[in-house]
Structure formats: C-alpha cells, structure tokens
C-alpha cells in the first residue's frame, strides 16, 4: 500500500524557516518524481515544486526561498522553506508522480505564518 506522510508544519513568524518532510512507503521511491502542492485556507490548489530526474522546478511565488530535495535512502522528500511570508500559510501536500502529478497524496501538514 502506497503511503505518504507529511510532517514539519507549524506556526512561525514572517521571515522564519521550516523544513517539511514527506516520508513514503509502498513503492520504489527512487523511480518516481515527487511534488509539493499547497492549499491556502478556503482556496484552491497551488502547485509549489517538483523534483524529477530532469531537475527541480518551482512556482514563481517560492523560487529563491524554497528548496525541494530528496533522500532516496530514506524514501523521503523535503521542502526547505526560508523567508516565510504570511501568504505562504497553507496546508502543504506531497504527492507521488506517475504519468504526471498526483497519483497518490499525503494527508497534508499545516503551515501558518503569522506575527
């Protein structure tokens, strides 16, 4: 059974940092691209970042502040988030790619940026 479990969310002040983790199981992690998607309160889905064999990709709104990475030995994908802004407040989901984004999703982790 494929499982994705996000962690690392929390309440931080503007300008601070957080590192999200997404631990996976049930598939050969190294074979698949992974993606982070976020959802602000009461809003729609926003693609944030993807990591694939061809490279890493970012939304304009986070480029230069967020870094996606992976540790294939730990079956885990990360999202390092620096210089957080109030507008980064959202539930952050990780997703496994197959044929495109989002074959499987985690349950999400809440990130709140507030002074």
Partner 1 sequence: DVVMTQSPLSLPVTLGQPASISCRSSQSLVHSDGKTHLNWFQQRPGQSPRRLIYQVSNRDSGVPDRFSGSGSDTDFTLKISSVEAEDVGVYYCMQGTHWPRTFGRGTKVEIK
Applying CB under 8 A, which of residues 28, 60, 64, 73 lies at the interface with partner 1? Answer: 60
Contact 48, 34 (CB under 8 A): no
Give the one residue of 5, 21, 27, 57 binding partner 1; rule: CB under 8 A. 57
What x-and-dash track marks residues 66-95 binding partner 1 by CB under 8 A? ---------------------------x--
Nearer to partner 1, 29 or 93 (CB): 93
Q: Are 102 and 36 in contact (CB under 8 A)?
A: no
CB neighbour list of residue 99: distance below 8 Å, 6 or more residues apart:
none
What 8-state DSSP symbol labels residue 46?
A: E
Q: Which of 58, 65, 80, 89 binds partner 1 (CB under 8 A)?
A: 58
Both structure tokens of 75: 């079956």
Residues found near partner 1 in the complex (CB under 8 A): 35, 37, 44-47, 50, 57-60, 93, 98-103, 105-108
């Amino acid at each position: 059974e494929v499982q994705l479990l996000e962690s690392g969310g929390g309440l931080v002040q503007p300008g601070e940092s957080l590192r999200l983790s997404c631990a996976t199981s049930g598939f050969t992690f190294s074979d698949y691209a992974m993606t982070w998607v976020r959802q602000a309160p009461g809003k729609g889905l926003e693609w944030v970042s993807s990591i694939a064999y061809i490279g890493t990709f970012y939304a304009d709104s986070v480029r230069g502040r967020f870094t996606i990475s992976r540790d294939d030995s730990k079956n885990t994908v990360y999202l390092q988030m620096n210089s957080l802004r109030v507008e980064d407040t959202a539930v952050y989901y990780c997703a496994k790619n197959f044929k495109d984004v989002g074959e499987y999703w985690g349950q999400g982790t809440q990130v709140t940026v507030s002074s």
